[in-house]
Amino acid sequence: MRMALIGLGKMGGNMARRLCRGGIEVVGYNRSPEIVNTLAKEESMIPAGSLREATEKLIAPRVVWLMLPCGDPTETAIEDLLKMLEQGDVVVDGGNSNYHDSQRRGTLLAQQGIGYVDSGTSGGIWGLDNGYCLMVGGEKAAVAEVEPALKVLAPAEDRGWAHVGPVGAGHFTKMIHNGIEYGMMQAMAEGFALMKGKEEFNLDLAQISELWRHSSVVRSWLLDLTADALKVDQNLTEIAPFVPDSGEGRWTVVESIDQGTAAPVLSLAMMMRFTSQDQEGYDFKLLSMMRNAFGGHAVKKASE
């Protein structure tokens, strides 16, 4: 199989490596050419200097896999591909697009007979060695064209990837996956914070995190990563208390509201990330003011 991979950042670059090593011929294009040259040299990837050149080096039916930021970069690439591809070709969006956008794009491409597959992709920087979890949406015929690549990218041919439903279902499933991830991370962070705060016990958090990795109910890859970090520095002195959020966490909360389905853990985990990002702290200033106004409680000055 020969396919194009557009966007060779941390995730896309590692996916290109895994595909090349698995026997897939990859035509790679990235806005910054350095990684293209590196992968061409190290992995025998076929380099392309533009999106058009990448499509021209493919054999019909052509498969173009996008690993681009959601929003305008992906939208622009698909608009350009509409002018380059033909009936029977397939576009795969492996980024973190909103599933509503995926449904709209699938309809747009279908009008020209071009298949569209939305692949929710999980695995991060570890996917090169461990494989990726791929949640795939699309028509059966389009998914079948991409299946050889899915089997190489996944941990094994028979697991770690699945055709979960029609166009949009892949990115929807990945959105919910990330919402759950937020809740799990928040629970673990709060639990370790409570243990660190119990100073009279002088708990060794590195020891406990390693202990929990073996046969405990909360064992997980997140716990493995936490244990590795705590072995180095239990105080995390080099890390600022600021947690960014991706669009998918927000979209998950919006989905719960749209459905009228209660998701308090996922929603609160999202709110906690907003709290960490608040440099102004205006709401906390208001709280302090109100306590002083009704109860005469002391207000800590900004200069203190």
Instruction: Give the integer Cα–Cα distance in Å for 172 and 249.
Output: 11
**Exposed/middle/buried for 151, CB within 10 Å: 0-12, 13-18, 19+?**
middle
Catalytic residue, from 181, 198, 200, 280: name it.
Answer: 181
90-93 vs 63-66, strand pairing mode: parallel
Q: At what angle do helices 169-197 and 264-277 cross, to 10 degrees?
A: 70
Helix or strand or coil: residue 3? strand
Give the tokens for residue 146. 């991409």
Instruction: Give the integer Cα–Cα distance in Å for 164 and 170.
Output: 6
Catalytic residue, from 56, 86, 139, 174: name it.
Answer: 174
Helix or strand or coil: residue 35? helix
Residue 42 annotated as catalytic: no
Residue 43 annotated as catalytic: no
One DSSP character per residue, 107-158 reads HHHHTTT-EEEEEEEE-GGGHHHH--EEEEES-HHHHHHHHHHHHHHSSBTT
Single out the residue of 183, 236, 182, 172 nearest to residue 209, CA to CA.
236
CA angle 3, 123, 193 (to 5 degrees): 160
Residue 85 contacts residue 26 (beta carbons within 8 Å): no
One DSSP character per residue, 210-265 reads HHHTTT-TT--HHHHHHHHHHHH-TT-TTS-S-----HHHHHHHHHHHHHT---HH
Q: Which residues are catalytic?
A: 174, 181
